[in-house]
Structure 1
Amino acid sequence: MKSLFITSICMLFLSTATAQFIKEQSLGVQIGFGLSTPYNSTTSVVDDGFFAQGELIMKVKNWLELRPYAGVILTNSDGLDLDDNPTDEKATSKAFLMGGKLRLRAPIPYFAPYIEGGIGTSIGSFETVNRLGTIDKSGIIYHVPFSIGVELGKKGKVDIRLSYFFQPSVEQYAGAAAIGVEFPL
């Protein structure tokens, strides 16, 4: 509950603190292939599903952006590892995601690589089964988002990314291979 309160305060501050240092605002929308895997897996287990996210993009500098976000990740286990062998290990997430990120990007037209990180909250149900045991949890947990990707186009309006949401309290990480577009506000 504490992480939800801190995330909400940070998002409120970021959305109202646009007076002097925010140069431009836009809306980013991403959709992609959702993934989740347990931390301590003995096999190559990756459960798949769906990912969608929206971000308020606030440009501070040409190379620095603040990004409050909200999204959803839905993954399910098919009982197989990456080699199609049966396995009992799994990591499933059915969660609403929200939080704030900071993006550092190379200010290069047409092909601008970036890295981003932050803090957020996941609200939903999570199940992790690995060699150390089973964690079956519903409710609110914190996560640490981390993404790498590239912005394409003269003004970087198309985004191709790998996003990860590290969820230590359920010993799994969820992620996505996603593509997104940016719309000016």
Structure 2
Amino acid sequence: MRIVLLALCFGFTSQIVSAQFIKEKSIQASIGLGLSVPYDSADEVADNGLFVQGELVLKVLSWIEIRPYAGVIWTNSDGTDLDGNPTDEKAESKAFLTGGKLRLRAPIPYVAPYVELGVGTSIGKFETSTVFYDIKGNGFLYHIPFSFGLELGKAHNVDIGFAYFFQPKVKQYVGAFAVGVSFQPKKWR
């Protein structure tokens, strides 16, 4: 519960202190193919679905950004493993994701690689079933977001990357290959 409070406080206070060290603000919207994978699996299972996320981008320096985020991951099992063979193993998530991340990026024109790390909470329904464990859960879980990818374009406003959210309590990670677009509302310019 402390991690949830910390993530919420981080998101709310980022607006208050923005006048002190935030150079630029924008919003990023991302969508992609969502995946959920158990930590341990005999059949190599990866269940798929939808991933949608919105981020408030607070640029501190040309290579550091603070990113409070909110998103949704929705994955379902189709009863097969990665090779198409039938299996009873699965890792399903139907959750709302929120928290904060720190992005470090190389300020290179037109193509800027980046890496992100943070802390957040997942709120929803989770099921991880393998030969090693059978976990069903509802409610709040902490997660650790980790992402990497490329920012493209003259203004670096197109983002192509991989986003992962490690959920230790239910022994699975969810993630996505996502494409995002950043924009600045007119009142922030």
| TM-score category of the 2 structures, normalised to the smaller one | over 0.9
Which amino acid is 1:80 matched to?
A: T
Report sequence identity in percent: 59
CA distance in 1, matches of 2:144, 2:36: 14
CA distance in 2, matches of 1:47, 1:144: 20
> Normalization by structure 2: what TM-score?
0.96
CA distance in 2, matches of 1:157, 1:133: 42
CA distance in 1, matches of 2:66, 2:115: 12
**Does 2:81 align with 1:90?**
no
CA distance in 1, matches of 2:44, 2:161: 22
| Runs (5+) with no aligned partner, structure 1 | none
Which amino acid is 1:175 matched to?
A: G
CA distance in 1, matches of 2:102, 2:8: 16
Which amino acid is 2:110 matched to?
A: Y
TM-fit CA distance, 1:2 = 2.7
SS at match of 1:4: helix
TM-fit CA distance, 1:16 = 1.5
CA distance in 1, matches of 2:39, 2:108: 35
SS at match of 1:19: helix
Which amino acid is 2:155 matched to?
A: K
Q: Is the 8 A contact 1:3 1:141 kept in 2?
A: no
Structure 2 residue aligned with 1:45 = 45
SS at match of 1:20: helix
Q: Which runs of 4+ in 1 moved over 3 A?
A: none
CA distance in 1, matches of 2:15, 2:139: 26
> Normalization by structure 1: what TM-score?
0.98
SS at match of 1:99: strand
**Does 2:31 align with 1:34?**
no
CA distance in 2, matches of 1:101, 1:45: 28
Structure 2 residue aligned with 1:144 = 144
Structure 1 residue aligned with 2:177 = 177
Deviation sequence 1:84-123 (CA, Å, 0-9, x none): 0011111000000000000000001111000001000000
CA distance in 1, matches of 2:163, 2:107: 20
1:33-182 matches, within 5 Å, as 33-182=33-182
Which amino acid is 1:154 matched to?
A: K
CA distance in 2, matches of 1:16, 1:129: 43
Backbone CA RMSD of aligned residues = 0.8
CA distance in 2, matches of 1:10, 1:63: 20
CA distance in 2, matches of 1:104, 1:15: 20
Deviation sequence 1:156-184 (CA, Å, 0-9, x none): 00000100000000000000000000011
SS at match of 1:88: coil
Q: Is the 8 A contact 1:117 1:144 kept in 2?
A: yes
CA distance in 2, matches of 1:107, 1:76: 38
CA distance in 1, matches of 2:23, 2:51: 29
TM-fit CA distance, 1:17 = 1.2
Deviation sequence 1:112-151 (CA, Å, 0-9, x none): 0000010000000000011212100000000000000000
